[in-house]
Chains A and B, each alone.
Chain A
C-alpha cells in the first residue's frame, strides 16, 4: 500500500500557484519524498524530490515540514499544460516505488 495520502482532485486557476498537499506521517528517517505527474496516458514524469530541506527546480518547489510528516508541491504559475495526475511517493533505495491514486489537478482558464 502507498505510504502517502493525497486529495483525489483539485482545481487551480491558470496563472495562479497550485499547491498540492501530501501526508506521509509514517515516513522513516532515510526515506525521500518524490513527486511525479502523469499527463493522459503518458509515462509518469519526474518533477522533484527531497529528504528534509526544501527544494526548487525549474518545474516546481517542494516544501517539507520540519517533522517530515507532510509536504507540499508548488507549481508557481500553473498553465493548462499542468493539468495532470500528481503522485507523491516516499521511497528509499532498496524499496520499490508504490504509486497511489494521486491528485488529479485541473488548471482552469
Chain B
C-alpha cells in the first residue's frame, strides 16, 4: 500500500514548455486534489475531483488542466509553463466521508 505517489520529485522547465505532474493513489479514494505551496506560504487549491470523470476548479486554477479518467490517477498538466508556476505541488486524496486528507510527498517545480 503505497498511499499517494507523486512523480517526478523534482523538475526544471523553461518558460513555455509543457509537462504533466503525476499523482497516483492505491487507497480507492474518491476525492483527489492538487495544491501548490509557494515559499513561506500556505497551501492553495488548484483543482479537485470527487470521482472519475468529474473535475472542478479550486482557488488558483489558471494555467493548469486536469482530468480524471480512473479512480487511481489525477494528473496535473501545465500547458505553457511560466516562472510564476515555480512552486511545490502536492496531491491529496480522501474517501467520501469525514475522513482525513492524505498527502503525497510533493513535486518541486522550477520554471526558468
Residues of A whose CB lies within 8 Å of any CB of B are: 2, 32, 34, 36, 41-46, 49, 51, 87, 91-93, 96-102
Residue from B42, B96, B100, B102 within 8 A of A101 (CB atoms): B42
Residues of B whose CB lies within 8 Å of any CB of A are: 4, 33, 35, 37, 41-45, 48, 58, 88, 90, 92, 94, 96-106, 108
Q: CA of A41 to CA of B97 in the docked complex: distance in angstroms?
A: 28
Chain B residue numbers with a CB within 8 Å of A46 are 100-102
- Nearest chain-A residue to B30 (Cβ)? A93
The answer to whether A41 touches B33, judged by C-beta atoms less than 8 angstroms apart, is no
The answer to whether A42 touches B105, judged by C-beta atoms less than 8 angstroms apart, is yes
Q: CA of A91 to CA of B99 in the docked complex: distance in angstroms?
A: 10
Task: Tell me what chain A mostly uses at the interface: helix, strand, loop, or mixed.
Answer: loop
The answer to whether A44 touches B45, judged by C-beta atoms less than 8 angstroms apart, is no
Residue from B4, B44, B92, B108 within 8 A of A41 (CB atoms): B108
- Nearest chain-B residue to A41 (Cβ)? B88
Closest chain A CB from B87 CB (angstroms) = 11
Residue from A42, A44, A93 within 8 A of B43 (CB atoms): A44
- Nearest chain-B residue to A32 (Cβ)? B98
